[in-house]
Structure 1
């Protein structure tokens, strides 16, 4: 269950908000939701380390949208996404609640998570192709003694 929730959170958070909205719009008969609190936007402090090592330092602040809701089957869903898009956070919370409910888990996987995973894989492959096109191979020629 924990890995399923982590996977759902990761896919929704990494996907563009319009892609998430479009796959949810294609699903029929979504569960009714009870908003536990209004969705909101806040800031989180991002910390970093040079090269992943050494002392941590404050890199900057990142806006984050969050939402919490409940579906009739009982699970509470929470969603956090980078940025200020509250709708994106509410969809992340809905996915979190649905992945916890046996009734909704398979429909969520087929209708939302699988298309988002395919879209992310395509974006990653496209980025890799673009990066490979700009690759520069450096080489050196070895000088032998006596050459100038």
Structure 2
């Protein structure tokens, strides 16, 4: 089995698809409002299903089925033939459709649209992660053991 590393274009696309999938619908709509009405054909209308989540004990153990998660997917084709695909957690058909449109548009103009759509979404997501980490850190409890002196 050969292992091929992704090209820079594939890595960039994977990165922006991650940001589109992890963003909230309201954030995505705010950043991509100028592109939401882009003419497109629907290749795969938004459909919701389940995916199996897998885990490993200690990240190195044998894989096991952790549970299922709801995912919505969509595929579109723009007038110039660019195809966009999206998978988002949950049941939001509009999120999946808009993310697929953005994926197709980003393939046409990755540099220009990354600054307009992806950078603001990534910044908002990062800020939300920092906020969640700060809240979690505030509840951290350090446990320690005191040695009693008994032998």
TM-score bucket of the superposed structures, by smaller chain: 0.7 to 0.9
RMSD: 2.2
- Give 1:54 deviation, angstroms: 2.5
Kept after mapping to 2: 8 A contact 1:67/1:79: yes
Paired residues in the alignment total 143
The answer as to 2:137 corresponding to 1:129 is no
| TM-score with structure 1 setting the length | 0.83
Once the two structures are TM-superposed, the CA of residue 100 in structure 1 deviates from its matched residue by: 1.0
Structure 2 unaligned segments of length 5 or more: list them: 1-8
Q: Structure 1 45/142 Cα, relative in aligned 2: closer, same or farther at 3 Å? A: closer
SS at match of 2:86: strand
Gaps of 5+ in 1: none
- SS of aligned partner of 1:65: strand
Q: How does 1:30-69 map to 2 (within 5 A)?
A: 31-69=38-76
- TM-fit CA distance, 1:29: 8.2
Query: Which is higher, the Rg of structure 1 or of structure 2?
Result: 1
Q: CA deviation at 1:143?
A: 5.7
CA contact (8 A) 2:35 2:102 kept: no
- Cα distance, 1:78 vs. partner? 0.6
Match for residue 89 of structure 1 among 96, 114, 117: 96
CA distance 1:117–1:28, shift in 2 (3 Å): same
